[in-house]
Structure 1
């Protein structure tokens, strides 16, 4: 692996690769969002084919900290703000950004705004959660929210992820995970408790088997949930010495997971050694397009904690807030006003 570090003079809260133009293509463009500044920005970067640092293509001012960003299409993404708003941005042919839509008060307290804490996208839907405890469902073409489910946890909600086209899981500061069917007017289908009610800081779903959800905890542990059997996490593995800020499955090799945290670590969780036919009942029918076993995270080895963890970058004295990976290249954003880039993070 080769690690480079580019100083950008802003604390980076969120990094996201722009999706490739084809399902099997690669991308060389990513976006970042800053936070904790008087003049926060959303920026577009391009990675050169050489070993040089990424170059800035465009930036737009952003009101409030950029707490999360998620792509809806290959050219459009949503950004959630600390001022309670959600904005929709689109890339043009030169990868410059233009604002397409704004929901300025998606999250509010009585008489003031409430920070939007996390976003999830699925087709033409955006799910937004915030410190007001609300789950808000938005359509990119509609100014009025499709639905608002009030106080889904009775406290700040930190994470949200789609597990099916019309089902989302939310997680809050008390360690409650709630499974919601957006087609139903009823309350949450299930309430799950993380061990010792530790706050869940981030959620990520498996790229091809969305019923598998990884949860990063305030205690630095990674928990794997099977949403078909929600009585308890399938496994819990500790590695970070502080809260996990983000969790990401590798989109093409989902037996690899990456986490970053407030302890300044960026960790690669490698379960590929468990992807053997002997661990699954019907190997020929349980392969994903990447060639790995889709059940690797539910193997007996992983349940026993037999998983390799590797520190990807040298220790950072300040939090690493966000991580994303595409192909063999990983990017991360941190409070030390730097973007990390790790090439050859996976050797195929």
Structure 2
């Protein structure tokens, strides 16, 4: 008896003129955000499969590396121009100017990680020069920008590689203020890990609301931080031989998936009570390079975006292969699931975004 062939996309979204680097679903509406290397941010209707709005939000020379839904009517864009921008979404699309602009001065490919949790605690634990005061003193922030900040409510933070690309920084998106720096010094080793290539901020249930961060580096290592103690990481592990390019965690913060420039996908477990990060299963690929990983919100499956143009689907608990999706004809850059677990989006250098219905959850 032959296996069923893998499904085709339910829709293909065309409109971008350059490589689509990232895609992210709105948490409650039938909307998808996508960003491309020419600086264009598009908002799509995922029911009618059409563009709602299009805006050039970062320079074409630098482009967008990441887009993240930042709340009910907000979206965050990260460019290779050293900025992260926080936008309001109205009936006509994006606001003309961002609510806030974070100047990270980092020019890289490491996508930011959003910590959008009203209970998150991120308090400066070392003397970090106040970003706000320096901008005011330098005259680069106007009083109108300050007024726009006051309209933004609720705590929302991002973790991103800093101006020193080996250092991870946490920023308050509402105030564009740098709060914490996580230095890159090796545990029991003098060898540098190189640049931060992937980062993920999360809230373990045991952390009393204090943010944790895992960052992946150029040498294939991963470092886990509890930001209450930025001088001393929880643990450091090395599951990969090449740069870690993507990290994803499940909603319970009990584990995750890492993708790399090597030929491995690693399904790992996290135990905050013991501070251990352990390999649960290594998946060996025929061809190396995983640019993106994503775990479906219901924790049933995860997907990877490959350099070999393929989207791979795995059972999350057992890490068994379920399907290989062949639509894109060049590198897949990113993969994303909708919050209700019904849709998946893959974005590619071929300028398209494919929408998929894969093992839809039972209602």
Structure 1 length-normalised TM: 0.67
Residues 151/58 of structure 1: CA separation in 2 closer, same or farther (3 Å cut):
same
Q: In the TM superposition, what whole-angstrom CA distance separates every residue of 1:128-181 from its partner, at most 9, and x where no partner exists?
A: 222111111112323323235364134336221222432222214712222212
Give runs of aligned pairs for residues 197-208 of structure 1, distance below 5 A: 198-206=194-202
- CA-CA distance at 1:82 after TM superposition: 0.8
Residues in 1 aligned to 2:232 and 2:7: alpha-carbon distance in whole angstroms: 42
Matched, 1:116 2:67: no
Matched, 1:60 2:13: yes
* Counterpart residue number, 1:223: 223
* Counterpart residue number, 2:213: 213
Q: Aligned-residue CA RMSD in angstroms?
A: 2.6
Matched, 1:299 2:276: no
Give runs of aligned pairs for residues 287-326 of structure 1, distance below 5 A: 296=271, 298-302=272-276, 307-312=278-283, 314-326=284-296
* Counterpart residue number, 1:329: 301
Contact 1:136/1:145 (8 A) holds in 2: no
Residues 87/207 of structure 1: CA separation in 2 closer, same or farther (3 Å cut):
farther
Residues 119/52 of structure 1: CA separation in 2 closer, same or farther (3 Å cut):
same
Contact 1:137/1:145 (8 A) holds in 2: no
Give runs of aligned pairs for residues 74-89 of structure 1, distance below 5 A: 74=28, 75-89=30-44
Contact 1:328/1:346 (8 A) holds in 2: no
* Counterpart residue number, 1:69: 23
Residues 240/189 of structure 1: CA separation in 2 closer, same or farther (3 Å cut):
same
Matched, 1:128 2:77: yes
Contact 1:201/1:216 (8 A) holds in 2: yes
* Counterpart residue number, 1:91: 46
Which of 167, 179, 182 is the matching residue for 2:173?
A: 182
- CA-CA distance at 1:344 after TM superposition: 5.9
Contact 2:266/2:279 (8 A) holds in 1: no
Q: In the TM superposition, what whole-angstrom CA distance separates every residue of 1:5-34 from its partner, at most 9, and x where no partner exists?
A: xxxxxxxxxxxxxxxxxxxxxxxxxxxxxx
* Counterpart residue number, 2:254: 255
Structure 2 length-normalised TM: 0.64
Contact 1:213/1:226 (8 A) holds in 2: yes
- CA-CA distance at 1:247 after TM superposition: 0.6
Contact 2:240/2:260 (8 A) holds in 1: yes
Secondary structure of the equivalent of 1:188?
Answer: strand
Residues 344/155 of structure 1: CA separation in 2 closer, same or farther (3 Å cut):
closer
Stretch moving more, 189-198 or 322-331: 189-198
Contact 1:321/1:335 (8 A) holds in 2: yes
Secondary structure of the equivalent of 2:253?
Answer: coil
Contact 1:88/1:140 (8 A) holds in 2: no
Matched, 1:159 2:111: yes
Residues in 2 aligned to 1:68 and 1:232: alpha-carbon distance in whole angstroms: 32
Residues in 1 aligned to 2:167 and 2:99: alpha-carbon distance in whole angstroms: 21
Residues 120/344 of structure 1: CA separation in 2 closer, same or farther (3 Å cut):
closer
Contact 1:204/1:215 (8 A) holds in 2: yes
Residues in 2 aligned to 1:322 and 1:84: alpha-carbon distance in whole angstroms: 20
- CA-CA distance at 1:237 after TM superposition: 0.8
Which of 158, 161, 165 is the matching residue for 1:171?
A: 161
* Counterpart residue number, 1:40: none
Contact 2:32/2:44 (8 A) holds in 1: yes
